[in-house]
């Protein structure tokens, strides 16, 4: 059975993930150098970003984002606005992989795809369900969150259902030296260079 050392799991492509460039170059100077003349929204957004990046920079934590990435065929079927947003999101995740060696992306066809109206975060004993339309759900409690985390790991990595195509496997993009242990040998581990190659292939898909 697969085991994960990370207590921080992100499922889907949530739009609420802070952008490191905006946080460091725009928001941080506003909050730190504005002499208290900061809106409540800016302060909350800043504190969320500080917490988020503190987690990423913690050497004892290995954040893993579970996502169903588009292949070229599915990408080309999307309308142009979705393509543009998807490429922007990929570039942000590539930057995250390069800047935060403990951060990993796990591509699995069972996870939420880009553009889905919901996403999920699990950290410690807290589960947060986010909705693009607004609002969300926060659940705290060791037992229930532990069960949710194990359910995600089992469903997304140990593909044993008879009706699940055997050729659909997961790929982990990471720079960490921690092989995944699963009950089925259906996944591969790739480095950040491989993810960058995927991003370049998607960006050039419309040109071919």
> For residue 197, is it within any domain?
yes
pLDDT score of 84 more than 80: yes
Contact of 182 with 158, CB cutoff 8 Å: yes
Q: What is the reported pLDDT for 14?
A: 64
Provide the angle, in degrees to the nearest 10, between the axes of the packed helices 192-203 and 80-99.
Answer: 160
- The SS3 assignment for 113 reads strand
CA distance 192 to 103: 10
Say whether pLDDT at 146 is over 70. Answer: yes
125 found inside a domain: yes
Which residues make beta-bridge pairs with 137?
129
Arithmetic mean of pLDDT, 175-179: 62
Q: Is the predicted pLDDT of residue 183 greater than 60, yes or no?
A: no
Is residue 22 domain-resident? no
**Is 169 part of any domain?**
yes
Tell me 207's DSSP state.
G
Mean pLDDT rounded to a whole number for the chain: 77
Lookup result for tokens 């079927």: 77
Query: Quick check: pTM over 0.85?
Result: no
The three-state (H, E, C) secondary structure of 34-47, written as one string = CCCCCCHHHHHHHH
The reply to whether 149 falls in a domain is: yes
What pLDDT was estimated at residue 4? Answer: 41
Residue 44: inside a domain: no
Following CA atoms 164, 166, 172, 177 in sequence, which dihedral angle do they give, to the nearest 10 degrees? 120
Could you tell me what percent of the chain has a pLDDT over 90? 18
Mean pLDDT of the 92-100 span? 88
pLDDT bracket for residue 138 (50, 70, 90): low
* pLDDT tens column, 110-131: 788 888 777 777 877 777 776 6
Confidence of residue 90 (pLDDT cuts 50, 70, 90): very high
pLDDT (tens digit, 9 = 90+) per residue, 53-82? Answer: 777 777 777 788 888 899 999 999 999 999
Number of domains in the chain: 1
Q: Is residue 200, in this structure, part of any structural domain at all?
A: yes
Range of the domain at 165: 8-17+63-207
Is residue 39, in this structure, part of any structural domain at all? Answer: no
For the cut 90, the answer to whether the pLDDT of residue 150 exceeds it is no
């Amino acid at each position: 059975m697969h085991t994960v050392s990370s207590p921080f799991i992100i499922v889907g492509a949530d739009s609420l993930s802070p952008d490191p460039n905006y946080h460091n170059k725009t928001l941080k100077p506003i909050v730190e150098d504005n002499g208290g003349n900061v809106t409540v929204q800016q302060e909350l957004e800043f504190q969320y970003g500080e917490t988020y990046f503190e987690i990423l920079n913690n050497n004892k934590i290995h954040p893993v984002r579970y996502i169903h990435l588009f292949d070229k065929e599915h990408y080309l079927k999307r309308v142009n606005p979705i393509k543009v947003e998807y490429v922007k999101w990929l570039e942000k995740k590539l930057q995250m992989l390069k800047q935060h060696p403990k951060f990993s992306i796990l591509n699995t066809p069972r996870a939420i795809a880009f553009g889905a109206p919901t996403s999920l975060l699990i950290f410690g004993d807290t589960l947060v369900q986010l909705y693009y339309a607004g609002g969300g759900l926060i659940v705290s409690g060791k037992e229930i969150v532990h069960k949710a985390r194990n359910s995600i790991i089992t469903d997304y990595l140990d593909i044993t259902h008879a009706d699940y195509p055997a050729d659909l496997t997961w790929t982990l993009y990471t720079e960490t030296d921690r092989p995944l242990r699963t009950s089925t040998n259906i996944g591969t581990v790739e480095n950040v260079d491989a993810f960058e190659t995927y991003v370049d292939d998607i960006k050039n898909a419309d040109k071919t």
